[in-house]
Structure 1
Amino acid sequence: MDFVLLFVFLAATGALSGLIAGLLGIGGGVVLVPALYYVFEFLGYESDRLMQVCVATSGGTIIFNSARSVLMHHRRDAVDWSVLKRWGPAISLGALAGVVGAASLRSANLSVIFGVIGMVIGLYMLISRPHWKLSDTMPGRVLASAYGLVIGFFSAMMGIGGGSFGVPAMTLYGMPVQKAVATSSGFGLLISVPSFAGFLIAGWGLPGLPPYTIGFVNLPALVVIVAISMTTVSLGVRLAHYLPAAMLKRIFAVFISLLALNMLTKGLVALSM
């Protein structure tokens, strides 16, 4: 019965993560990281590296969700490939640095860091207005590289797609939110591939992790979630192109804020014990 419940829970989580990946361009990690943590806690696994398993497994699913999402957005001519080319190398480099950070810090510290930053991003998306811009043109290569390093680092560290940080950054430079969401799905692919490889290496041979975990990646959870989420990404992409921009921004802000509050609360409770 526990196995059946686990499968149903992971399948439901995968379906929702795929929908969010297509809708918001954030790879579904906004749902997966806390959901996986609750699943492993329910099964009785306690480890100082449990959060790393959740982050790494979430990152693995983002490879598939982001690839499908960016392809479907591209078919609608919504992806800005020039931005991906300019920001991409720094994003991937930042992702590798994020893996090193995630592997070396306590789970509670990771939760607090993301919680604070996530709440700031969520608040910005809720209260920002279209006329809030730093420029009407995208930044040059040097500044784009700086943004890419930051986006890759924090996204890989928390097992989420690049849209959590990339969408606000791009909209500040005048990019429409739908186009920013579509382009950020490409960020997720640039982040998840190097970080997935990094987490496989960083957690190799560590004791006390859930069964069938290679490195920090739990294979059963990865397979179930990917199999289900791939079927719902297309629905999210279609919704992203039909919902009004203001509504899409509010949806994005609510999800980021909820995740950030959850992570912040967990981190502060753990640090106080």
Structure 2
Amino acid sequence: MDPWLILALLAMGTFGGFAAGLLGIGGGMVLVPFITMIFTAQGFAPGLVVHMAIATSLATIFFTSLSSVRAHHKHGAVLWPVVKLLAPGILVGSWIGPWIGKQMDSAVLAFFFGVFVAFSATQMLIGKKPAGSRELPNAPGMFAAGTGIGVLSGLVGAGGGFISVPFMTWCNVKIHNAVATSAALGFPIALAGTLSNIYYGWGEPGLPEYALGFIYLPALAIIVLASVTMAPLGARTAHKMPVRQLQKVFAVILYCLAAYMFWKSVN
């Protein structure tokens, strides 16, 4: 593999892993556009580039979530009862998401991803406060919420933090607990989504060598190497400083990445 390509993937993994630990986002919002650029430059089939970028990004979260959640757990911030209530629906939704993505044209998928990232960046930028009386729903409501989080996460290759963190804070869960709990939810999202991407991508015509379903293994290995190292650092940083200013900066970066995905959808 080209040394410059290896360095680019390491840089992506470093930034994505830090963002995953800091904001509980799983890194997918950052990784997918950059992986799309790299796979396009590598000459992969245009109709598969976005699908493979999303699948590879989601697979990295399988490892990143384990790394970041350990750091959050040491601070006692993970709400495990909430994880237990959301996880069953998340497993179901994360399997369905990649199947929906497979039915979509690559350009449509790129556009949908751009919309999702722009919406998520706006949420992060505004930081609207929830009503004081709002609480988490009961078990059936949590299953439904988990399913929705899983479907969108599996579809766009994200760890679910841009849905689960606003959902929990909307229900008056403290932001640090929401970020930590979201990091823990990244594992079932990535587990079901990765298996689904392998299953639905198996034998797909036009896939490059070393692809496992829609997942490109060389990119996965390099990104994980960096992201697993940086995720705990991001998690520790989240507990040492207010993240509001960092969220604003990150929102601007996400707008730029959303713009690239919009451009990709028409080119």
- Aligned match of 2:258: 260
Partner SS for 2:47: coil
Name the CA shift for 1:254/1:82 in 2 (closer, same or farther; >3 Å): farther
Is the contact between residue 91 and residue 149 of structure 1 (CA under 8 Å) also seen in structure 2?
yes
| Matching of residue 204 in structure 1 with residue 217 in structure 2 | no
Runs of 4+ in 1 over 6 A off after TM superposition: none
> 1:18-77: CA deviations, max 9, x gaps?
111111111111221111111111122233122111111111110000111112101110
Unpaired stretches in structure 2, ≥5 consecutive residues: none
How far is 1:251 from its partner? 4.6
- Aligned match of 1:16: 15
Name the CA shift for 1:49/1:135 in 2 (closer, same or farther; >3 Å): farther
How far is 1:208 from its partner? 1.5
| Matching of residue 149 in structure 1 with residue 152 in structure 2 | no
Name the CA shift for 1:251/1:71 in 2 (closer, same or farther; >3 Å): farther
- Aligned match of 2:30: 31
> 1:175-201: CA deviations, max 9, x gaps?
121111111011211110011011111
The separation in 2 between residues aligned to 1:133 and 1:125, in whole angstroms, is: 17
Is the contact between residue 30 and residue 254 of structure 2 (CA under 8 Å) also seen in structure 1?
no
How far is 1:96 from its partner? 0.8
Matches within 5 A, 1:177-256: 177-251=175-249, 253-256=251-254
Stretch moving more, 21-30 or 119-128 = 119-128
- TM superposition score normalised by structure 1: 0.91
Partner SS for 2:229: coil
How far is 1:210 from its partner? 2.4
The separation in 2 between residues aligned to 1:124 and 1:216, in whole angstroms, is: 30
> 1:134-189: CA deviations, max 9, x gaps?
74421212222222111110111111111011111111111121111111011211
> 1:109-157: CA deviations, max 9, x gaps?
1222232233233223322333x33744212122222221111101111
> 1:5-25: CA deviations, max 9, x gaps?
111111111111111111111
The separation in 2 between residues aligned to 1:76 and 1:258, in whole angstroms, is: 33
Is the contact between residue 171 and residue 180 of structure 1 (CA under 8 Å) also seen in structure 2?
yes
Of residues 156, 164, 176, the one that matches 2:162 is 164
The separation in 2 between residues aligned to 1:169 and 1:261, in whole angstroms, is: 25
The separation in 2 between residues aligned to 1:201 and 1:18, in whole angstroms, is: 26
How far is 1:90 from its partner? 0.5
Is the contact between residue 89 and residue 150 of structure 2 (CA under 8 Å) also seen in structure 1?
yes
Stretch moving more, 51-60 or 239-248 = 239-248
User: Quick one: which amino acid aligns to residue 118 of structure 1?
Assistant: V
- Aligned match of 2:104: 105
- Aligned match of 1:52: 51
Partner SS for 2:205: coil
Name the CA shift for 1:261/1:165 in 2 (closer, same or farther; >3 Å): farther
| Matching of residue 43 in structure 1 with residue 5 in structure 2 | no
The separation in 2 between residues aligned to 1:27 and 1:114, in whole angstroms, is: 15
How far is 1:256 from its partner? 4.3
Is the contact between residue 29 and residue 117 of structure 2 (CA under 8 Å) also seen in structure 1?
no
Matches within 5 A, 1:50-129: 50-129=49-128
User: Quick one: which amino acid aligns to residue 41 of structure 1?
Assistant: T
Name the CA shift for 1:254/1:181 in 2 (closer, same or farther; >3 Å): farther
User: Quick one: which amino acid aligns to residue 148 of structure 2?
Assistant: V
Stretch moving more, 240-249 or 210-219 = 240-249
User: Quick one: which amino acid aligns to residue 226 of structure 1?
Assistant: V
The separation in 2 between residues aligned to 1:234 and 1:173, in whole angstroms, is: 26
Aligned residues: 267
The separation in 1 between residues aligned to 2:163 and 2:150, in whole angstroms, is: 9
The separation in 1 between residues aligned to 2:27 and 2:128, in whole angstroms, is: 26
> 1:202-226: CA deviations, max 9, x gaps?
1111221222111111111111111
User: Quick one: which amino acid aligns to residue 156 of structure 2?
Assistant: M
CA RMSD, Structure 1 to Structure 2 (Å): 1.8
The separation in 2 between residues aligned to 1:22 and 1:107, in whole angstroms, is: 29
Name the CA shift for 1:118/1:6 in 2 (closer, same or farther; >3 Å): closer
Partner SS for 1:11: helix
